[in-house]
Amino acid sequence: MTHESSDLYDRIYSIVRSVPYGKVATYGQIAQIIGVRSGARMIGWALNAVPLQDRIDIPCHRVVNRLGELSGKMHFETPYIMRERLEAEGVSFIGEAVDMKIHLWIPVE
């Protein structure tokens, strides 16, 4: 990883850390915050690079796709961990997707 991408990943991780308990952010939302509008995939790559033991400090489970689906669930210890962690925080689901009307984090500028 280059120094530039390391700095970018650090910025991404800082934003993910700021997503409150019981809320979720989208990959695209985080990309927009760091100024990379079409960088949703890059956000996924950055989160996939987080070692499993660091995923409590960096709550990767709080990042979902734009529809509220758990598209990153295969990158956890089991495909169920992501949903279990969200439900433990009181996040509700409609089918397989987070109820975004209730749980989408809207950061204060």
* pLDDT for res 51: 87
Catalytic hit among 8, 30, 50, 60: 60
Identify whether 60 is a catalytic site residue.
yes
Evaluate whether 11 touches 34 at the Cβ level (below 8 Å). yes
* pTM for this predicted structure: 0.91
Q: Which residues pair with 63 in a beta bridge?
A: 25
- Whether the pLDDT of residue 6 is over 90: the answer is no
**Domains identified in the chain and CATH numbers:** 3-103 (1.10.10.10)
Share of residues in the chain with pLDDT > 70 (%):
94
pLDDT in tens, 94-103: 999 999 999 9
* Three-class HEC string of the chain: CCHHHHHHHHHHHHHHHHCCCCCEEEHHHHHHHCCCCCCHHHHHHHHHCCCHHHCCCCCHHHEECCCCECCCHHHCCCCCHHHHHHHHCCCCEECCEECHHHHECCCCC
Q: pLDDT for 30-70, tens place per residue?
A: 999 999 877 899 999 999 999 888 877 899 999 999 999 99
